[in-house]
Each structure stands twice: as C-alpha cells, then as structure tokens.
Amino acid sequence: MARPFRFGVNLLTLESAEAWRAKCRHAEQLGYDVLLAPDHLGNPAPFPALAAAAEATERPRLGTFVLNAGFWNPALLAREVTTCDALTDGRLELGLGAGYVKAEHDSAGLPFGSPRERVDHLVYTVAGLERLLTDPEHRPRSTQSPRPPLLLGGNGDRLLRLAARHADIAAFTGAVQPVGKPQGTLQLISPEALEGRIAAFRRFAAEAGRTQESDESDEAIELNYLIQMVGPTEDRRAKARELAPYAPDLTEDQLLEHPALLLGDAKEMAEQLRAHRERFGFSYFAVLEHNMEAFAPVIEELHGS
C-alpha cells in the first residue's frame, strides 16, 4: 500500500504580521499539510514565524525546512524546539541540515567548515538533541513525545546514514555542489543518480533495522522531496527545452522525469507525482512560496490519495 501524500509549502517572505497570518491561512485553505520556514539569512527567523503561523491556522503541521546546524548548538536549539512545540500545540516538525551557503556563515561571523566538518557538527547536534529532548528533566518540556518528528536532508552517504538511524523523515536534495562553481551553487543530479541515492539510503536503513516500506509501521521513514519549479504548460517538452541551460548535464527526457521539475496541467502533474512515489518512494512533497498557487490544483487532484 502506497503511503498517502503530504504537501508542504516553504514560506520565504515576511511583509507584516497580518500579511504573514493571511498567507498562512490561505495556504491552509489551499490544502497544504505543512507550513515550512527555512533558515537562511534574509528570510524570517524560523521559530517565531512558525509560532505565528500556528496562531493563524488550525490544521497544518509547522516545520523548519531546514535549520542550518552550523547556526546552532544543541542546548540552545533544544530550548527553541521545546518552546516552539509547546506554542504550536505539538504541531512542530524539526528539519535539520548541514548547511551549504558560505556567505551566510561569513555574514554571521561563524566558521564554515569543510563538508566533513559541517556533517560532523550535524551529527553532534542530532546526538545532543536526542539526549536533551528525550530527557524527562529537560525544561521546557516538548509537547510531543518523545520529541517532535525529525527531518534530516542531504545527499551524501554520511548524511543519509545519519537520517537512516535517526530521522522520521528523510529529505533528498537531488543536487550536488559542482566542481569549480561558487560555494552554495547546487546542480541537479540525474533521476538515475537520485535512484542510486535512495537505494543507498534504503540499505543504510535496513542496516539500522528500520524500514520505509510500510505506512503501518511506527518505524517507517517518510521520504521528502522539494520541488524547485512548478510550471503549468500545455507543452511539457517545450518547457523542458527552455530549462535545459539550467541543467546542462541532463537530457530532455531526464528533465521531464526529474522530481525537481513539475510540468504540465494539474492532471499531468498529479500523474508525475504518483510516478515519483512509485519510482523513488517520495510521498511528502514541498514547494517554494512562489509556486504555492500553481501547485494548489495538484493538491486538489491528489486529495486523499
């Protein structure tokens, strides 16, 4: 049995308190299951933004997507998490990543380590959070027990192993830092390479005694993907040709098969997501704020499935 779809929207802009509340209510009305906040300088601070979103809405979950572990240490982050979980009445989902934008670390006066060092810090952060958030003596207490659901995102083996051991939700980037490009630049890998990453994750999960196959099991790990572009069009191939310069290593067919791009009318997009769930195992899809309206008819097409 396929795991039911969930849909999230990553909210990126803050104009005013009322505009933020109105946007969150609108996303709820459009059918989004999760309201998400990133952790980039220039975007709203994630935890107060999510607390405000909770005040404005009733149904959606609230998630960080994703926190840059390099901005945090476990003790201070645990306080933020438990406070936000209480203020959102237990609707918080905690997303964590290793970070990839050097310029943000430079602006914040924080060190930007090598990829290994950044993953080391993420491993340290996850271990510290597991200890603190499950400690019955920790104050404030988390509303959810034993802790809010944990999402870990990335592409490399070490991060996928970490997600296989600890995450409730595994988020796949489907992209890598290309050689010779500025730090923070991401380039799509092929759908075939993405399948390889998911196969590796499944091996790591099996080694850890966990599964992603059954939506009946408490141990099942939900698989997530962030859709980079939602492109309503009557000609999917013509649209893919327009996008080819942004992914020069991919063929037109690979672009059409890639979960980062959703092209066509609402029914075609819905069929693409069903195909991605079958091929890759993704059941939780997120979109960026500027795609929120364009994606809403797809949610309607897939409601309840």
Round to whole Å and give the CA distance between 37 and 83.
16
Among 213-217, 242-246, 273-277, the range with the most confident prediction by mean pLDDT is 273-277
Query: Greater confidence, 175 or 11?
Result: 11
Round to whole Å and give the CA distance between 295 and 9.
10
Residues 6+ apart with CB under 8 A from 264: 231, 232, 233, 236, 272
DSSP 8-state assignment for residue 66 = -
Cβ(280)–Cβ(195) below 8 Å: yes
* pLDDT at res. 214: 47
pLDDT(165) > 70: yes
* pLDDT at res. 183: 66
* pLDDT at res. 246: 84
pLDDT in tens, 246-268: 888 999 999 999 999 999 999 99
pLDDT(215) > 50: no
pLDDT in tens, 100-134: 999 999 999 999 999 999 999 999 999 999 999 99
pLDDT(269) > 70: yes
* Terminal CA-CA length for the chain: 11
Cβ(47)–Cβ(80) below 8 Å: yes
Give the residue among 93, 97, 95, 96 at the shortest CA–CA distance from 148: 93
pLDDT in tens, 52-76: 999 999 999 999 999 999 999 999 9
- Looking only at the bridges linking them, the beta strands covering 150-154 and 67-68 are unpaired
Domains defined along the chain, listed by start: 6-302 (3.20.20.30)
To the nearest whole number, what is the mean pLDDT of the chain?
94
* pLDDT at res. 44: 98
pLDDT(88) > 60: yes
